[in-house]
């Protein structure tokens, strides 16, 4: 299924989008990757959605990526005797390990690891930052605070601790069970929540054992500070603006988003921009102008993918939300300014043979009226490097590995095709020509650029480029062997 845009769309599945008919309609409307949120739904429900996605993929002969999003540790206050209390600005309020029900003066915070690292002056945010507390005095089992932003506090609301690195693993016991389940199920990407350091990603990678690619969610200030190290050990990144906007001043989020996208592009690793992109479409068939502008900004910045959460999982208009994203993407990418911005932000730090090959492929394609760049890739490396170039012509990624093709469904501009296993470059060129014609990128009168790594089936060996006719009869005639 050919898209008329380069940025990819990730749609979260949920109660509003669990049937075969709806999942198929979402894919046809523009969803390239489906997100399974492990915070909601039983394993049997997740397995059923996975099964339906693969059936849709088979019925439409279209490569679809599946992303499983782990919940991560959840820090919450305890319960209140009255269910809720009203906190006023300036009043004193204590958090402690006492399991007794809370009142207007204190409440249980059953997380000794938080108290272990708190210091006077630190901030504690409750209920997505609606209530803010400043630590005045603290010990191993308590924190005496002053309310700086008041409001209603109620049972088991979430707590954010933005000023310190918490001595918590990114994977809870639930996450470990979920990881094993979805990895065995066969998801393509695993999104890791609560990442604070590179070691969190390495732990998940060891448990995953190559069964899924690792995508790190950047949602904490500590992750922003350690981003270079986290990016180096991750396969992809999600900029989770919702949590970042709670733990950081909201005005800090846009420049962080832009900076992280640039770094991901330079590293040739896919990046998703997520959270509240079309949130009004949970209840409305039309987005706000500000939401459309937000989606457009992420596309102009060169992100690989943009994501819908509750809009497609639990909203009243899931198909309309995907259609809106698709329409915005097509309009933005047809704007000459988009091309100018993308090309101006292209990384110039290229040092390897592979870097030179893909840069040459883009330049040849754009200067010689070549219709497509065709990458024969076993691990996905060649296609990722070509996508980093953000060429003006389509990218056709061919692989004998369905796993690789599905992972590349998240990558900018890649049209993924599963092909037969090959051991000769000539046959890669022949297959590329056939695929380019089948997808209507080119006719027998056109030229394509083909890149690959030889010997085949060796990761990171992109070392060959050929400009070829899109007619296998001519390919055989010029290279009979």
Among 120, 121, 115, smallest CA distance to 75 is for 115
Query: What span, in angstroms and rounded, lies between the C-alpha atoms of 426 and 435?
Result: 14
Taking CA atoms, 350 is separated from 121, 198, 266, 353, 357, in Å, by 45, 24, 9, 9, 10
> Of 54, 76, 174, 350, which residue is the catalytic one?
76
> Of 5, 49, 157, 217, which residue is the catalytic one?
217
Task: Kindly state the tokens that stand for 201.
Answer: 């990603």
Taking CA atoms, 315 is separated from 17, 29, 40, in Å, by 9, 16, 15
Question: Which residues pair with residue 237 across a beta bridge?
Answer: 216, 271
> Of 5, 8, 35, 406, which residue is the catalytic one?
35
Residues contacting 89, CB < 8 A, separation 6+: 147, 148, 149, 150
Query: What span, in angstroms and rounded, lies between the C-alpha atoms of 35 and 306?
Result: 12
Contact 49, 23 (CB under 8 A): yes
Element (H, E) at 6: none
Task: Kindly state the tokens that stand for 308.
Answer: 């819908």
Query: What span, in angstroms and rounded, lies between the C-alpha atoms of 167 and 182?
Result: 26
Q: Is 407 a catalytic residue?
A: no
Q: Is 217 a catalytic residue?
A: yes
Neighbours of 255 (CB within 10 A): 9
Query: What span, in angstroms and rounded, lies between the C-alpha atoms of 461 and 448?
Result: 21
Contact 179, 171 (CB under 8 A): yes
Taking CA atoms, 6 is separated from 199, 279, 321, 385, in Å, by 33, 23, 18, 15
What counts of helices (H) and strands (E) characterise the chain? 18, 21
Element (H, E) at 144: strand 142-149
Residues contacting 241, CB < 8 A, separation 6+: 253, 257, 273, 274, 275, 276
**Strand (E) positions, 378-429?**
395-399, 414-418
Q: Is 76 a catalytic residue?
A: yes
Q: How many residues does the chain have?
A: 481
> Of 63, 275, 382, 404, which residue is the catalytic one?
275
Q: Is 197 a catalytic residue?
A: no
Taking CA atoms, 436 is separated from 296, 410, 448, 472, in Å, by 29, 20, 8, 11
Contact 470, 437 (CB under 8 A): yes
> Which of the residues are catalytic?
35, 76, 217, 275
């Amino acid at each position: 299924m050919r898209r008329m845009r380069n940025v990819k769309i990730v749609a979260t599945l949920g109660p509003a989008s669990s049937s075969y008919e709806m999942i198929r309609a979402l894919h046809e409307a523009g969803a390239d990757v489906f997100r399974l949120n492990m915070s909601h739904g039983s394993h049997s429900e997740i397995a059923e959605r996975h099964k339906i996605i693969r059936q849709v993929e088979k019925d439409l002969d279209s490569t679809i990526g599946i992303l499983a999003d782990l919940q991560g540790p959840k820090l919450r206050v305890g319960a209140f005797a009255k269910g809720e209390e009203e906190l006023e600005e300036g009043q004193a309020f204590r958090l402690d390990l006492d399991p007794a029900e809370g009142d207007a003066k204190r409440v249980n915070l059953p997380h000794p690891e938080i108290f272990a690292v708190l210091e006077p002056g630190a901030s504690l945010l409750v209920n997505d930052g609606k209530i803010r507390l400043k630590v005045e005095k603290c010990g191993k089992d308590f924190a005496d605070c002053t309310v700086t932003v008041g409001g209603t506090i109620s049972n088991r609301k979430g707590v954010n601790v933005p000023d310190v690195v918490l001595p918590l693993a990114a994977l809870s016991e639930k996450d470990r069970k979920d990881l094993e389940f979805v990895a065995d199920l066969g998801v393509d990407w695993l999104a890791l929540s609560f990442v604070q350091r590179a070691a969190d990603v390495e732990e998940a990678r060891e448990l995953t054992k190559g069964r899924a690619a690792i995508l790190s969610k950047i949602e904490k200030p500590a992750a922003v500070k350690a981003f270079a190290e986290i990016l180096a050990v991750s396969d992809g990144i999600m900029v989770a603006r919702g949590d970042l906007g709670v733990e950081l001043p909201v005005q800090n989020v846009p420049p962080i988003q832009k900076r992280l996208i640039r770094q991901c592009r330079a590293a040739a690793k896919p990046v998703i921009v997520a959270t509240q992109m079309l949130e009004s479409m949970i209840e409305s068939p039309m987005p706000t102008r500000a939401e459309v502008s937000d989606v457009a900004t992420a596309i102009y910045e060169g992100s690989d993918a943009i994501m819908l959460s509750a809009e497609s999982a639990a909203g009243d208009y899931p198909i309309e939300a995907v259609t809106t994203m698709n329409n915005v993407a097509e309009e933005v990418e047809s704007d000459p300014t988009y091309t100018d911005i993308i090309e101006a932000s292209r990384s110039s730090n290229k040092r390897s043979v592979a870097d030179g090959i893909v840069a040459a492929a883009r330049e040849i394609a754009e200067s010689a009226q070549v219709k497509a760049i065709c990458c024969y890739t076993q691990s996905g490396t060649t296609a990722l490097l070509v996508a980093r170039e953000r060429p003006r012509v389509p990218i056709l990624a061919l692989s004998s590995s369905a796993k690789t093709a599905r992972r590349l469904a998240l990558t900018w501009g890649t049209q993924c095709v599963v092909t037969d296993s090959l051991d000769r470059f000539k046959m890669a060129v022949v297959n590329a020509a056939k695929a380019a014609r089948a997808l209507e990128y080119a006719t027998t009168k056109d030229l394509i650029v083909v890149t690959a790594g030889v010997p085949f089936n060796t990761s990171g060996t992109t070392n060959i480029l050929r400009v070829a006719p899109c007619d296998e009869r001519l390919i055989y005639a010029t290279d009979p062997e």
